[in-house]
């Protein structure tokens, strides 16, 4: 299975800054077999960056979209409008769930819309700090995984990527907590088990990533977890040397594994 290194730039960088940053990355990133590097800039920058990028080295992802293709949905952008610009689409990020109140119903519609439009959805799931404290992690992960995939046909399961992002470990939320590799291993195992019980063997082909305060210093410890197929990176993806280091670490860990 491929290893995925995905940078989520969130609401950072102007179009000009995004373009300059991508230029820097393209000069340093070399295409590597089995390694997929993706960046998700603001929707505003997608057009410019899609003309600029070399998709063999760096692919683009959308941070958000609406599930309908066209219509009276003020302020929204659809898969039909962005599908020629991106290969991936992040869905159900905790900021969408908790700041913008997206529900599992919104999220399942988006996952299905992304697949219909030929994009790979990256479905984010993860428990909050209080859910973890109350011992609800397993239930939350199960509900979010199965809820998000509800409208996905069994044969389309392998078109989905799942990202485990414990909300309490996301740096942008002011969190000082960092998930240990053991925390992550347990959650990834739970997610894989949930998929296996529902979809059978196909579950083994679904990439599962980890995200939450990933930096070059801890990237290796997460990438070395069996069953971890890559990383979704927020803050550290905004700093070129950090992001480039993480890509190099992913290459090394992958080579060592094979």
Residues contributing to the site for ligand PGA (CB under 6 A): 8, 165, 170-172, 211-214, 232-236
Bridge partners (DSSP) listed for residue 162? 123, 208
Out of 36, 102, 165, 242, the active site residue is 165
Give the shortest CB-100-to-ligand PGA separation in angstroms: 14
Furthest CA-CA distance within the chain? 51
Residue closer to ligand PGA, measured from CB, 141 or 236: 236
The CB density around residue 235, as the number of other CB atoms within 10 Å, is: 18
Residue closer to ligand PGA, measured from CB, 92 or 199: 92
Distance in angstroms (rounded) separating the CA atoms of residues 135 and 140? 10
Mark whether 67 is an active-site residue: no
Would you tell me the crossing angle of helices 240-257 and 15-28 to the nearest 10 degrees?
40
Residue closer to ligand PGA, measured from CB, 10 or 151: 10
Q: Minimal CB distance to ligand PGA: which residue?
A: 234
Give the shortest CB-22-to-ligand PGA separation in angstroms: 19
Give the shortest CB-110-to-ligand PGA separation in angstroms: 16
Out of 36, 67, 93, 102, the active site residue is 93
* Nearest CA-CA partner of 213 in 251, 181, 249: 181
Mark whether 30 is an active-site residue: no
Q: Are 223 and 242 in contact (CB under 8 A)?
A: no
Would you tell me the crossing angle of helices 104-116 and 137-148 to the nearest 10 degrees?
40
Give the shortest CB-124-to-ligand PGA separation in angstroms: 7
Residues labelled catalytic: 93, 165
């Amino acid at each position: 299975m491929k290893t995925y290194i995905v940078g989520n730039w969130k609401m950072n960088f102007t179009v000009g800054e995004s373009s300059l940053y991508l230029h820097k990355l393209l000069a340093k990133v070399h295409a590597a077999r089995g390694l997929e590097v993706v960046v998700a800039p603001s929707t505003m920058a997608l057009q410019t960056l899609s003309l600029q990028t070399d998709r063999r080295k760096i692919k683009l992802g959308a941070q958000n979209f609406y599930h309908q293709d066209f219509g009276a949905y003020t302020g929204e952008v659809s898969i039909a409008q962005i599908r020629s610009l991106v290969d991936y689409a992040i869905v159900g990020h905790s900021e969408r769930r908790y700041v913008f109140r997206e529900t599992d119903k919104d999220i399942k519609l988006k996952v299905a819309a992304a697949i219909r439009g030929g994009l790979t959805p990256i479905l984010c799931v993860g428990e909050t700090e209080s859910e973890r404290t109350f011992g609800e992690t397993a239930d939350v992960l199960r509900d979010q995984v199965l809820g998000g995939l509800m409208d996905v046909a069994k044969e389309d399961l392998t078109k989905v990527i799942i990202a485990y992002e414990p909300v309490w470990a996301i740096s942008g939320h002011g969190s000082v907590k960092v998930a240990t590799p053991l925390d992550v291993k347990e959650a990834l195992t739970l997610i894989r088990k949930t998929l296996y019980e529902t979809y059978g063997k196909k579950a083994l082909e679904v990439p599962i990533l980890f995200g939450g305060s990933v930096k070059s210093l801890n990237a290796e410890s997460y990438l070395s977890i069996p069953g971890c197929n890559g990383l979704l990176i927020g803050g550290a993806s905004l700093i070129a040397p950090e992001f480039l280091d993480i890509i190099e670490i992913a290459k090394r860990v992958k080579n060592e594994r094979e």
